[in-house]
Amino acid sequence: MFQSKDQTGSTVKLEVYPPKRIVSLVPSQTELLHYFGLEEEVIGITKFCVHPQTWFKNKSRVGGTKNVNIEKMRSLKPDLIIANKEENVKEQVEELQQIAPVWISDINNFEDAIKMISSIGELVAKEKQAETLIAEIETRFFKLQVTNHKLQTAYLIWRNPYMTIGGDNFINDMLRKCGLQNVFEKEKRYPVTTIEAIREHGAKLILLSSEPFPFKEKHVKEIKNHFANSQSPKY
């Protein structure tokens, strides 16, 4: 039996190691499993796991990140399920734990992300590949040229109402590492905001996410109309 602590501090016990039937409930971690070359081992993904496209077309889909099809999961007979504390619903994860071991990530900053890559690499017996990826990521971040003058930035994740990011999550940490200053950094989690509040906070750059809200070019134009001197590209 193989044991691993997930990022919530829970011990996950695998009867089969390395796991041969993996289901991923997290799009970013699905991409990580693809990087590890687990073509045969990954048998299920969510409808939001659109990358790589070959997996999206050919792998069994088990619903969305917030509405997992429990019966579908049971029919796949996984020996490992990979979930995320924020992406997935606690009550559903608890149901899934009755089907197979569930390893849960909890990522709030760069260091958590690096630890996740390392831990999943160990979990699926791909330690060398994980080490290679971590080294590449750390090297690229080390090369970033960050000035002391940080561009005042608002990052929007939802529309009607507009929602942004506070200072206690992974996106905020990435903005900081890229030399950007989140104007809502003193807020918690994902606060609701308005165009007026964004202007009052002095945002000079507005970033729009591709999910959970799928901002399109028409939304870029809409926001640009309110901020003649700001930039509002997708991010």
Residue 24, SS3?
strand
pLDDT surpasses 60 at 234? no
**Domain boundaries along the sequence of the chain:** 2-140, 151-224
Spelled out in words, what is the top-level CATH class assigned to the domain 2-140?
Answer: alpha beta
Q: Which two tokens stand for residue 67?
A: 């509405």
> What Cα–Cα distance (Å) separates residue 128 from each residue in 103, 121, 125, 132?
20, 8, 9, 6
Tell me the pLDDT tens digit for each residue of 101-134: 999 999 999 999 999 999 999 999 999 999 999 9
Tell me the pLDDT tens digit for each residue of 138-163: 999 998 877 777 899 999 999 999 99
CATH fourth-level superfamily of 151-224: Nitrogenase molybdenum iron protein domain (3.40.50.1980)
Distance CA(112)–CA(7), nearest Å, equals 8
- Read off the pLDDT of each residue in 68-76 and give the average, rounded to a whole number: 97
Q: Which of 125, 164, 122 is nearest to 7 (CA)?
A: 122
């080294």: which residue's tokens? 135
Q: Write down the pLDDT at residue 229.
A: 58
The β-bridge relationship of strands 180-182 and 205-208 is unpaired
Q: Where are the beta strands (DSSP E) in the chain?
A: 2-5, 11-14, 22-24, 42-45, 60-61, 80-84, 102-105, 151-158, 162-164, 180-182, 192-193, 205-208
Do 2-140 and 151-224 agree at the fold level?
A: yes
The one-letter amino acid code at 125 reads A
Q: Write down the pLDDT at residue 45.
A: 98
pLDDT surpasses 60 at 235? no
Q: Taking all residues of the chain, what is their mean pLDDT, rounded to a whole number?
A: 93
